[in-house]
Amino acid sequence: MKRFSLAALGFTMIGLTTAAPIVQAAKIYGIAEVAGAQRLVTWDSSNPSVLLSDVPITHLEPGETIRGMDFAPIDFDPNELQLFAIGVGGDPYADVYRIHRATGAA
């Protein structure tokens, strides 16, 4: 009985002393509206008060605004995620855009 307790204590101590996995900060993308124009902004999740980039979103149809965006793989390179966005304007249809992350071009 005593031997089992010492073994259990040893395994518990090993479990408590192993390092937790390191969580890496992630780049977060968002849309900000400044003076009536939409901008693609990024920040680091470990320091959200500092913007990493702030570029205008260009080449949208007249009157359209971005209502949502998400990352998705593309067929010819499933490891490369592309940023896609949904643009909605005055007509009853929505447009799908692929946004260039560095320039904001749709």
- Per-residue pLDDT tens digits for 2-54: 454 444 444 444 444 555 566 788 889 999 999 989 999 999 999 889 999 99
Domain holding 56, by residue range, is 22-99
Using DSSP, state whether 56 is helix, strand or coil: strand
Residue 17 belongs to a domain: no
- Res 7: pLDDT: 44
- Whose structure tokens read 């205008």? 56
Q: What are the CA-CA distances from residue 27 to residues 17, 50, 51 (Å)?
A: 30, 12, 10
Across all residues in the chain, what is the average pLDDT? 81
User: Considering the domain boundaries, does residue 105 fall inside one?
Assistant: no
Is 106 inside any structural domain?
Answer: no
- The 10s digit of each residue's pLDDT in 41-93 is 999 999 889 999 999 999 998 889 999 999 888 777 777 889 999 999 877 88
How far apart CA 60 and CA 81 sit, in angstroms, is 21
Q: Is residue 16 part of a domain?
A: no
The three-class DSSP label of residue 62 is: coil
Domain count, the chain: 1
Q: Would 14 be classed as within a structural domain? A: no
In a domain, 29, yes or no: yes
